[in-house]
Amino acid sequence: MRRRLLIAGAVLLLLTLATRATASEDRAKATAEVAALGGARAFAACAACHSLGAGEPHKVGPNLHAVVGREAASAEGYSYSPALQASGLTWTRANLVAWIADSEALVPGSWMLYHNILTGAEVMSLIDYLQGDLQGDLQGDLESDLGKVED
Ligand code: HEC
């Protein structure tokens, strides 16, 4: 029974994506959305401590809006550890991968208490998702599509 439900869900998801992907432009967008969908799921590992939307209040950790490419410890109004402030890091993809894998190894003395549970592929989708957050568009579409799939 559960298996049948899962299959029905998968078919629904494919149908939703297939109807969207009529023109080739739509198809490319659908591919990006599918990748981001994985990233959105992966962000659940961070969401307890991090907000993502522009202007949203900090949680235990700083707001991560447009974090890809920004200097470490530069979100306004958040009290970072002295270690992260002194790190001189920029959040490139490579640094994010290293931080998510083991923040204490990348910046000894930093304050993020996170033990990684994501696979390498999930971390890649997660970073795509964080980056996509710069293009509010993709995120808005994604949220509405997620809504459709989950309804
Ligand atoms: C238990 C809470 C917690 C979880 C879970 C968590 N973080 Fe953090 N994060 C923090 C804290 C606290 C800091 C501030 C670290 C410091 O000041 O040394 C931080 C800092 C960061 C920074 C640096 C931001 C900046 O402005 O320099 C990034 C990037 C980041 N976290 C990404 C993530 C990602 C991605 C995940 C999920 C895979 C995650 N975090 C999960 C608490 C958390």
Q: Please write down the HEC assignment for all residues of 41-103.
A: HHCHHHHCCCCCCCCCCCCCCCCCCCCCCCECCCCCCCCCCHHHHCCCCECCHHHHHHHHHCH
What are the tokens at 23? 């023109």
- The dotted CATH code for 35-150 is 1.10.760.10
Find tokens 């969401």 and name the residue. 47
Residues near ligand 1 (Cβ within 6 A): 45-46, 48-50, 60-62, 64, 67, 72-75, 80-81, 83-84, 91, 96, 99-100, 110-114
Q: What is the pLDDT of residue 22?
A: 63
What's residue 74's pLDDT? 98
Distance CA(34)–CA(32), nearest Å, equals: 5
Single pTM value for the model: 0.76
pLDDT (0 to 100) of residue 5? 60
Query: Block means of pLDDT (10 residues each) for the chain, length 151 residues?
Result: 60 54 70 75 95 96 96 98 98 98 98 96 94 59 58 52
Nearest CA to ligand 1 atom 41: 46
- For residue 14, the CA-to-ligand 1 centroid distance in Å is 34
Ligand 1 centroid to 101 CA: how many Å?
Answer: 12
Res 137: pLDDT: 47
| Residue extents of the structural domains in the chain | 35-150
Distance 131 CA to ligand 1 centre (A): 16
User: What's residue 37's pLDDT?
Assistant: 74
Q: What pLDDT does 38 receive?
A: 87
CA atoms within 13 A on the CB side of 143: 7
Q: Which two tokens stand for residue 39?
A: 């990233």
